[in-house]
């Protein structure tokens, strides 16, 4: 799995030619082509949806943003 990620990163992100990848990793061109044409590996499980820790304070945050909208820009609290 790690080698597959390295080969794909070199080819797709860095745009190296297969010949350069061959020299860099030490595998044959046929093997590199097999890795590149293989189907991408999908995760075996889905991450369950979780509530945010900030959800209980959502109404308070909306109130802060509303009150800040009438304040001049240089005085505003934009990180709320």
Task: Quote the domain boundaries for residue 67.
Answer: 51-80
Structurally, the chain folds into a number of domains equal to: 2
In angstroms, what CA-CA distances link 17 with 31, 35, 37, 61, 73?
14, 14, 15, 51, 51
Is the residue at 69 inside a domain?
A: yes
Q: How far apart are CA 20 and CA 29, in angstroms?
A: 10
Mean pLDDT of 13-35: 90
- Residue 46 covered by a domain: no
Residue with tokens 């991450």: 47
Nearest to 35 by CA among 15, 13, 14, 18: 18
Alpha carbons within 13 A on the beta-carbon side of 63:
4
The pLDDT of residue 71 is: 82
Q: Are 20 and 26 in contact (CB under 8 A)?
A: no
Instruction: Tell me whether residue 56 is in a domain.
Output: yes
Q: What is the pLDDT of residues 31-71, one digit of tens each?
A: 999 888 887 777 678 888 899 898 999 999 888 888 888 88
In a domain, 44, yes or no: no
């Amino acid at each position: 799995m790690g080698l597959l990620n390295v080969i794909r990163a070199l080819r797709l992100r860095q745009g190296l030619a297969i010949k350069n990848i061959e020299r860099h990793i030490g595998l044959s061109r046929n093997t590199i082509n097999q890795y590149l044409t293989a189907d991408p590996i999908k995760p075996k499980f889905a991450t369950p949806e979780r509530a945010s820790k900030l959800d209980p304070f959502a109404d308070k945050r909306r109130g802060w943003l509303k009150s800040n909208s009438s304040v001049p820009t240089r005085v505003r609290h934009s990180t709320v």
